[in-house]
Structure 1
Amino acid sequence: MKQTLAQKAIGAALIHDWNLALKLNQELLKIEPQDVDSLNRLSKANFELNNHTKAKTITKKVLKIDPLNSIAIRAIEKYASTGDRKQNNEENNISPGNNYQYFIEESGKTKTISLLHLGDLKTVLGLDCGYEAQIKPALHRVSICTQEGVYIGRLPDDLAARLIQLMRDGCCYQAYIKATGKKEVIVFIREVSKSDKCAKIISFPRV
């Protein structure tokens, strides 16, 4: 039940349904009140719903449980600069719904990485932030493609080798475009589910 609720909470955040994300993470915390992943997501949902004081309080709670939690540390820094960031976004006409800052990181379950050997420039520059791409594993490589199967780029060999094995063992992942440029595409990869065989394996261990 907890895993299903967590997946739904993550999904709600990815589509920016913050009211649903708030409700789902509150349900998760009834099951495990000290779960820092749920607390971080709840803080994020409150922040996006303009409950800034509540968001800060929740993040401070995370830091009491886990003082080195990188997500909470970054959140506190972000909350401290909220006024300046909001002003900059308005001046530059940046849409929050399309901003990569809205991707939620989870320790061991997410990875942000630059692709190698990029595909056609027109394809790359036509990608929007938040676009869900396909992950296509092969024998020794993992390509990232559009939903139509058009090649975008590929993962570094070390990460590709790890994901190929994990996917063979039953793990599932999603990839989203986080940022693009003429010479760079950054993707955000999230673990969606694990098989029993991989239950104790961390998808993206900290190096």
Structure 2
Amino acid sequence: MTGFQVEDRAKLRRAWGEQAIQAAMQSRWPQAVELNRNILGLFPNDVDALNRLGRALREQGQFREARESYRRAVEVDPNNNIARRNLESLANVQVDSAPVEAQQQLNPTIFSAESGKSGNATIVGVPDRALLARMAVGDQVYLHADGRALLVRNRAGETLGQVETRIAQRLIDLMQGGNKYAAALLTPEDGTYRVIINETFRDPSQAGRTSFPPRGDAAALPRSYIKESLIRPVDYDEDDEDGDVERDFTVEVDPETEDTAEPTEFDDEQPPE
């Protein structure tokens, strides 16, 4: 490979990068590992490939190797937030622990821009932070009403925590009325985990009741693997039980931030060397 012309090396890098992204989006992690390692064989300092390799290794439960890949990315680019955040979350993971069951990534298009249908909430009452740390941003989680608690569970049925009370109570009532919701993990910030929740079905009996009635100024949604940093839900009013007053719920792409949004593991924005 060392004899390749610069142009040939660049073409291979682009081709392998595109294939690696597709493999990861389809959860073909062993192939993603191989493709990213191919890139690193030609370009050892490719931070995008290092981050993607770390993600693919992490998904397979190879936490020690994933940590090393992210450590190398930080060594090359000390300001790379993707690698730094993953290193921070992997610090809570026992490297010899068994991997969690493969999680399903939610398609970001399910998160509706329709007023009042999407919001985000803090996960509280976390019984095992290491279990949450072993999951990835964008992984699907499942909401389960247990009395007046709204549990957040992974695909294996393990409880990750609970939706914060002020949001849980309203959603439980709506779920008992027939509404359905999808949820996914967001990027943790300062050790706090959050979920984005979307109403996927509104029962006719709940017509006129808004899942996330807005209140106050828009708050920036934490960045995540699927670039929810471009989505801005506003706060919701738990007192507006009947949804009689339905104000603007801002979920939009900000043209000023679209080009400067933080890259994900699957962005391959570095120009070929």
Q: TM-score, normalised by structure 2?
A: 0.38
The structure whose residues are more often helix, as a share, is 1
